[in-house]
């Protein structure tokens, strides 16, 4: 599957912007576990983070394939889109299920860079992957909801104004369907921080600005409910396909970065009087990583094209994310091996990217759960959980 030529200027523009944020910029932030404010501001100013916002709301009105190309190029340039990718993948839920009034209230300000929609609160400490057993509740009282509970791994909550939050509005045993009773809210954290909302950072092996968040009688106006009460799981699921495609594209970008680094180093590094890349034992793993990346890229493009055409893409989005995450991790491992000892030295950026790309076989959905999805929904095997 080839890509249409109109994406070439977007790719070029992203690469040009990323050139201003070289390895040293990311290394310094990585050491301090600091947020890449300048990078995110530059992407916002250039309009890339508003790619999916329709033109009538001040965005660029681009489609999923363009958004995927933007995220891929960020990673392929050695930068880290994890600092801001949520604004892209939460957008589908707001666009498809938000009211006209909500879109008019929030989207133009997001497009102008005055409001950040970077936090997505789904995972909880006790439910993990089993989203339907989440315990955070939202109880309606007059014109607002009171939210109580806890989320974990709510990335970028400290660097976002808005959070898309999934909470239970009907007790599980009273819900009409297995997936019913959950609702989605657009929480304005500027109004709730310190007033029922507490955010605590979690330090991780890579620089990811992730947090745990606690809700204690946090008031959210009923106007901030997205779509219909009780239908939230369905809305989040449709958004998750976008998330998988975009993360898949990021993994392709990572894999391209590792492969380019390894091929270039293997051509230059001379040991035993010849370039190490002249040895098949060094060149074959690079070639294998390239083949794996190209195959995964095809699936990411197919999933993005289906999403863009409004077609069902659940299995393609899952397979794309799976293949791409495996390809980027394989390329990362190969790159360290190719560099030998230098692969571990901070100044080459490989160990940093290695840690960063490791995430994607676990989040936003772990490999086992993708395999379970394919086994059940594509192969017709019994549900295993």
Ligand X SMILES: Cc1cc2nc3c(=O)[nH]c(=O)nc-3n(C[C@H](O)[C@H](O)[C@H](O)COP(=O)(O)OP(=O)(O)OC[C@H]3O[C@@H](n4cnc5c(N)ncnc54)[C@H](O)[C@@H]3O)c2cc1C
The total of other beta-carbon atoms located within 10 Å of residue 274's CB is: 10
Instruction: Work out how close the CB of 184 gets to ligand X at its nearest, in angstroms, rounded to a whole number.
Output: 12
Are the C-beta atoms of 230 and 183 separated by less than 8 Å? yes
179 binds ligand X per the rule CB under 6 A = no
Task: Name which of 60 and 90 has its Cβ closer to ligand X.
Answer: 90
272 binds ligand X per the rule CB under 6 A = no
Angle made by CA atoms 192, 102, 188, in degrees to the nearest 5: 10
Distance between CA atoms of residues 305 and 308, nearest Å = 5
Between the two ends of the chain, the Cα-to-Cα distance in Å is 35
Site residues (CB under 6 A) for ligand X, limited to 73-132: 120-123, 128-129
Instruction: Work out how close the CB of 168 gets to ligand X at its nearest, in angstroms, rounded to a whole number.
Output: 15
Q: Which of 13, 42, 363, 374 binds ligand X (CB under 6 A)?
A: 363
Instruction: Work out how close the CB of 210 gets to ligand X at its nearest, in angstroms, rounded to a whole number.
Output: 5
- Looking at beta carbons, which residue is closest to ligand X? 128
Distance between CA atoms of residues 327 and 252, nearest Å = 7
Site residues (CB under 6 A) for ligand X, limited to 149-168: 153-155
Catalytic residue among 212, 243, 297, 326: 243
133 binds ligand X per the rule CB under 6 A = no
DSSP type of residue 337: H
341 CB contacts (<8 Å, ≥6 apart)?
none
368 binds ligand X per the rule CB under 6 A = yes
Q: What is the DSSP string of 19-86?
A: TTS-HHHHHHHHHHT---HHHHHHHHHTTGGGTTS-GGGTS----HHHHHHHHHHHHHTT--GGGTTH
CA distances from 138 to 143, 150, 176, 178, 310 (A): 13, 12, 17, 18, 31
236 binds ligand X per the rule CB under 6 A = no
Instruction: Work out how close the CB of 131 gets to ligand X at its nearest, in angstroms, rounded to a whole number.
Output: 9
259 binds ligand X per the rule CB under 6 A = no
Site residues (CB under 6 A) for ligand X, limited to 200-219: 204, 208, 210
Query: What are residue 94's phi and psi, to 5 degrees?
Result: -70, -45
293 binds ligand X per the rule CB under 6 A = no
Residue count, binding to ligand X (CB under 6 A): 23
243 catalytic, yes or no? yes
Task: Name which of 62 and 86 has its Cβ closer to ligand X.
Answer: 86
Are the C-beta atoms of 166 and 237 separated by less than 8 Å? no
Residues involved in catalysis: 243
**Residues in contact with ligand X by the rule CB under 6 A:** 120-123, 128-129, 153-155, 204, 208, 210, 359, 362-366, 368-369, 372, 384-385
């Amino acid at each position: 599957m080839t890509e249409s030529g109109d994406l070439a200027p977007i790719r070029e523009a992203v690469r040009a912007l990323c050139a201003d944020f070289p390895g040293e910029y990311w290394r310094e932030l990585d050491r301090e576990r600091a947020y890449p404010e300048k990078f995110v501001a530059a992407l916002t100013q250039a309009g890339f983070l508003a790619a999916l916002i329709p033109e009538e709301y001040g965005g660029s009105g681009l489609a999923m394939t363009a958004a995927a190309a933007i995220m891929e190029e960020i990673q392929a340039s050695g930068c880290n889109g994890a600092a801001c990718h949520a604004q892209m993948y939460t957008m589908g839920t707001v666009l498809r299920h938000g009211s006209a009034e909500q879109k008019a209230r929030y989207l133009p300000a997001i497009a102008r860079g005055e409001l950040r929609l970077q936090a997505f609160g789904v995972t909880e400490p006790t439910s993990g992957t089993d989203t339907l057993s989440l315990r955070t509740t939202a109880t309606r009282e007059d014109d607002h909801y009171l939210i109580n509970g806890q989320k974990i791994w709510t990335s970028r909550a400290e660097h976002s104004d808005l959070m898309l939050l999934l909470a239970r509005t009907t007790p599980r045993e009273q819900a009409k369907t297995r997936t019913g009773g959950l609702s989605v809210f657009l929480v304005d954290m500027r109004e709730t921080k310190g007033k029922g909302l507490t955010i605590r950072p979690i330090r991780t092996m890579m620089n990811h600005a992730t947090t745990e968040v606690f809700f204690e009688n946090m008031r959210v106006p009923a106007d901030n409910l997205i779509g219909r009460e009780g239908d939230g799981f369905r809305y989040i699921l449709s958004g998750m396909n976008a998330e998988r495609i975009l993360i898949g594209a990021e993994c392709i970008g990572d894999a391209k970065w590792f492969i380019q680094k390894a091929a270039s180093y293997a051509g230059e590094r001379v040991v035993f009087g010849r370039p190490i890349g002249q040895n098949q034992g060094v060149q074959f793993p690079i070639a294998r990583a390239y083949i794996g990346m190209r195959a995964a890229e095809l699936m990411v493009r197919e999933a993005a094209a289906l999403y863009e055409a409004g077609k069902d893409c659940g299995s393609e989005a899952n397979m794309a994310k799976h293949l791409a995450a495996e390809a980027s991790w394989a390329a990362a491992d190969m790159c360290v091996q190719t560099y030998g000892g230098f692969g571990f030295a901070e100044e080459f950026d490989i160990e940093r990217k290695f840690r960063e790309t490791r995430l994607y076989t676990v989040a936003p959905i772990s490999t086992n759960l993708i395999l379970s999805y394919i086994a059940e929904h594509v192969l017709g095997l019994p549900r295993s959980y």
